[in-house]
Structure 1
Amino acid sequence: MTTVQNIAKNSLFLLAGQVTGIVFGFFYFVSMARYLGAEDLGILSFALSLTIIIGLLGDIGFSSLMIRELSRNQSLAPKYTGNIFLMKLLLAIITFGAIAIIMNFLDYSENAIEVVYIITISNIFTNFTNIFYSVFQAFERFEYLSIGMILNSVLMLIGIFFAIGQNFGLIYFAFIYLIVNAIVLAYSFFFCLRKFIVPVFEIDWIFWKKTISESLPFWLNAVFVTIYFRIDMVMLSAITGDSAVGWYAASYRLIDALGFIPAVLMGIMYPVFSKFHINSKDNLEFAFKKSFKILTIIAIPIGIGTTILAERIIILIYGVQYSPSVDALRILIWASVLSFFNYTPATYLTSTNRQRTLMIFTFIGAILNLVLNFILIPRFSYNGAAVATVFTEFVVGMLMVFNIHKSENLLSSLMNITFKSLIAGVIMAAFLLVFHDYILILLILFAAIVYFIALYIVNGFEEEDISLFKQILER
């Protein structure tokens, strides 16, 4: 099997898991949002955001380091898995302690505090699951990762619908997250033992010191990215109240759902980039350009189409009670578009041992986002938070692209595909404006057809793109 075919196979497995998660997640989140209302949804969204931020203490970059190192030398898997498992036990205690301290200083209701504690334990389970997911990913056996995602989605769907059917309160929805993540952890641990490796549980102080030192840049990068993607909900909760968080979360959930597209592709390409960095610089450059091209071609019509159809999308999905979410969606969708652009250079920097450079850029983004949120949220509420997120993504993206361009001179090719995609997007926008009131599903389908025809006309597809597609289809 060729590298291209292997990438395609793994992409299909991961895509299956992600699509299932998106579809099922869409149904259970929308049902939960309609059932709970904006205020309770705001409490749950606050808990999820806060525990994601503090939960970063539970994985100080270990997962990313494992994927990179084990993709280069799989024989190290037992040592990495066992040692990191023990380190995460200590970090889990620290994580829960940090949450307890923070909640004692914040003036929240007893109900909200209980939800935060339950979601914290749920996230701790997820941090342990990521150890075994890293093994699956490094060994390029994405079917096991996909099964875990599907299992999570199915159980969440069943749990949420059961809770709604039984008229349960908010606290029970938090327990669903806890129970489901515990089951997925058991699944990942079992199949890691049975199909891959047996962890060597040991305390190797030299290894611990080396691993922590190498993983810290990954962790700090994750911290900074999480801050500028999640701190807005925490700040909104403190400044404007739970209802504003609920309206913002409704739009943000749709943006999160779109994130599966670059996550799938670059999740596959991360170990590939890491290998090419050692074995073939030419292949690395080729893979970088094609990855960026694919994500750009997908991102631009999503951004333009969502901006035009935002009101119809929000009302259809959430109902009139979430109409305040429309403007936030129109702004946030461009954060998603920029995120598509940024995934490839971020993965490139990480896989080429330049995670410290990426860490500096994301640190700048985190500080910028905090400052903008402090300025914009009091004046513009959740719309201000959305603007802060978009501007932060833009700045971080420019820093990454220009840094890579200095050594690899890739900017012209990136600008070329972006320009052609924008031309096709403008043609698609004209189509949407003319036929705006037609059936939404058909409108989106025909708009996509118009976009790709226009992209073909402006030579957005090259001969080597067609050749790659043929390789994927070959058996």
Structure 2
Amino acid sequence: MSTTAENKIKNIVTYLTPSMLGNILPIITLPIMTRFLLPEDFGIVALAAGFPTILVSFLSCNVHTGAERYFFEYHRDNKALSRLINTTITFLVLSFGAALPVVFLLKNWFSLLILGSVDYGFALFLSYVSACLGILSTFYMTLYRNMEKAGKFSFYMNMMMIINTGLGLLLVVGFRFGYISLIYAPLGAGLIVFSLLFISFQRDFPFSFDRKMLIDNLKYGIPLLPNLLTSAIYGLFDKYMLRSFVSLSSTGIYSLAQNITTKLFVFMTAVQSTFHPIFMKDIFDRGKAAASSVGRNFTIFTYISLTAVLGMILFGEELIYLLAPSSYSGAINVALILLCGIATQTFGKIIGLPLAYAKKAYLSFPVSILGVILNVLLNILLIPRWGAIGAGLTTTFTIVMMNYISHLIAQKYFRINYEVKILLFLYLNVFLSAFLLVYLRMTDAHFILKYSVKLASLLAFIMTGIHAKIITRNTINIVLGLLRLNNKIPVKNEAVTK
């Protein structure tokens, strides 16, 4: 058994712990939340949180992403790493703090613009503070990921999600605070976790500031701002259109579908937490010689990520029927469509690495602008006609096109030898399954036909994993061992990856 392979799988399981918890807790609480909150309440929260995301993305200048790139240059020099971490945090805190009074003074104007009423101004202000704390906490936890300290990463992620869920339930059910409970909860969780992380990092990395490092981070991060801003626009413009042309209830249905599918993106990010340091070290240490090993690891990363995506596609309908009242059933088809876009984000997770290696991050700018234009035009065309379904189609098509174009650009600067046939089969399975199930639902097809499609899709996915040598006796043996199960599968002396 390869020690590297065993450590890789062990880290995957460790990083997936908070992701699993993050998926399970909202599922457990969904039946409660949907019986105390209306679809309109979810729509209000979605719109109130959308604007601060755009503002915080702009104010950050993306220096935290720049710091992540330079981490791998300084990680062997503790003093340089201390300067990098503290310089980044100092800039973020000062930038967010400077905008705080402005946001407070203009909160009612923003509320009127986005939600059509001044009644939600305070909710917008709280969402801004919550978004700031979220970026600061995520930066610290990303550092733990890059240090390969999976235990600490998992601990703080779990803490944030448990506090968020517990506080949300208390405020919704116990105090009947309504929609604003879903804004207070992440704010409280973010404040507690950021405070603990700040104390921990200050102990290990005493304060120091480096002007040159800040300039380097800004030079790297600012060209990436269009990516963050366009992502934020995607998260707000469609909801704004739904509120304007359909209703707040439709916005809430769409938001619920997005929240469900975002859990899969969080799962994907957790898997990436294991593979990202491997990709980065491979690329920076071996250069173009790493093309094949990166391609192989990408196939494994994609397969693990799509396992959860396909599972939600096949059984998400039953889950939503089980956990939410019938007034939320409109979220099913929207979620199935959105999951196709989420599936291609495996490419979105790796595209930035070749550009970071080549210091060509600015090339993401034209792709982002194209994505914004495409997203806005399609939303204007489709939402008035098809409502939340139109918004889902727009989001998925935009994500797929942007990831494809970005992939073509990234390949010019660092060519990854992808295992094309395996990847094509995996994605074909995901897309066919999702759109077939949407069609069968819309035509009220017999349940036997629907479950036949689901079974065929599941079997095809498993067979692809076996053919790609991802599902092997060794990988099963390691996973069962990590789960503390008695394993009698004989172990051959084979590596998990080539």
Category of TM-score, reference length = shorter chain: 0.7 to 0.9
Determine if contact 2:43/2:249 at 8 Å carries over to the other structure.
yes
Choose which of 270, 290, 293 in structure 1 pairs with 2:296: 290
Measured in 2, the distance between the counterparts of 1:371 and 1:274 equals 36
Q: 1:394 to 1:161 in 2, by over 3 A?
A: same
String of CA shifts for 1:348-368, please: whole Å, max 9, x gaps: 433553322234323322222
8 Å Cα contact 1:159-1:176 kept in structure 2: yes
For 2:153 and 2:495, locate their aligned partners in 1 and report how far apart those are by CA, in whole Å.
21
Task: Look up the match of 1:87.
Answer: 91
- Please list every run of 5 or more consecutive structure 2 residues that lacks an aligned counterpart in the other structure: 479-492
Tell me which residue corresponds to 2:146.
Answer: 138
The Cα shift of 1:448 comes to 7.7
- Report the aligned-residue RMSD: 3.7
State the AA in 2 paired with 1:175.
Answer: Y
Q: Would you say 1:418 and 2:460 are equivalent positions?
A: no
Residues 379-388 or 269-278, more deviating = 269-278
For the 8 Å contact 1:251–1:326, the answer to whether it is kept is: yes
For 1:461, which of 456, 463, 469 is the aligned residue?
469
Aligned to 2:43: 42
Q: Equivalents in 2 of 1:68, 1:355: separation in Å?
A: 11
Query: Per-residue displacement from partner, 1:412-462 (whole Å, max 9, x unpaired)?
Result: x44311233367669989x9999946999xx98x778623443257x3337
Q: Deviations over 1:78-97 (max 9, x none)?
A: 21222222211232135443
- Matched residue SS, 1:168: coil
Shift of residue 163 of structure 1? 2.0
TM-score (norm 2): 0.81
Paired residues of 2:348 and 2:403 also in contact (CA < 8 A): yes
Which residue of the partner structure matches residue 380 of structure 2?
374
Output one character per residue of 1:154-182: Cα deviation in whole Å (capped at 9) or x when no partner.
11221122223324223344222211111
User: Could you tell me which of 157, 163, 174 is aligned with 1:155?
Assistant: 163
The Cα of 1:254 is off from its aligned counterpart by: 1.1
2:23 maps to amino acid: I
Q: CA 1:303–1:125 in structure 2 vs 1: closer, same or farther (change >3 Å)? A: closer
Q: Deviations over 1:304-359 (max 9, x none)?
A: 66556554333223221112222212321211122234323344433553322234
Distance 1:341 1:215, change over 3 A: closer
In structure 1, distance between residues paired with 2:471 and 2:34: 46
For residue 394 of structure 1, report the CA deviation from its aligned partner: 1.4
Q: How does 1:337-352 map to 2 (within 5 A)?
A: 337-352=343-358
Q: Say if 1:462 and 1:9 are closer, same or farther in 2 by CA, change over 3 A.
A: closer
The CA distance in 1 between the partners of 2:34 and 2:433, in whole Å, is: 32
Q: Secondary structure at the match of 1:199?
A: coil
**Given the alignment of the two structures, is residue 257 of structure 1 paired with residue 258 of structure 2, yes or no?**
no
> Residues 420, 104 of structure 1: CA spacing in aligned structure 2 closer, same or farther, 3 A cutoff?
closer
Structure 2 SS opposite 1:198: coil
Residues 110-119 or 463-472, more deviating: 463-472
Count residues with an aligned counterpart.
467
- Residue 267 of structure 1 is matched in structure 2 by 273
Alpha-carbon shift at residue 63 of structure 1 (Å): 1.9
2:421 is matched by which residue type in structure 1?
N
Secondary structure at 2:44 match in 1: helix
- Please give the alpha-carbon distance, in whole angstroms, between the structure 2 residues aligned to 1:247 and 1:68: 37
Residue 175 of structure 1 is matched in structure 2 by 184
What is the TM-score normalised by the length of structure 1? 0.85
Instruction: State the Cα deviation string for residues 163-202 of structure 1 (Å, max 9, x = none).
Output: 23324223344222211111011121122234x32232x4
* Unaligned 5+ runs, structure 1: none
Q: Which amino acid aligns with 1:46?
A: L
Separation (CA, whole Å) in 2 of partners of 1:307 and 1:462? 21
Contact 1:218-1:359 within 8 A present in 2 as well: yes
For residue 341 of structure 2, what is the aligned residue in structure 1? 335
CA distance, structure 1, for counterparts of residue 108 and residue 62 of structure 2? 25
Query: What is the CA distance between 1:129 and its match in structure 2?
Result: 1.8
Q: Which residue type is aligned with residue 191 of structure 2?
A: A
* 2:16 matched residue in structure 1: 15
Whether the aligned pair in 2 keeps the contact of 1:420 and 1:460 (CA below 8 Å) is no
Contact 1:63 1:130 survives alignment (8 Å):
no
1:33 CA displacement: 3.2
**2: distance between equivalents of 1:252 and 1:165?**
23
Most deviating of 222-231 and 77-86? 222-231
Identity of aligned residues (%): 18
Q: Name the structure 1 match of 2:490.
A: none
Pick the aligned partner of 2:195 from 177, 180, 186.
186
CA apart distance, 1:212: 1.5
Distance 1:235 1:472, change over 3 A: farther
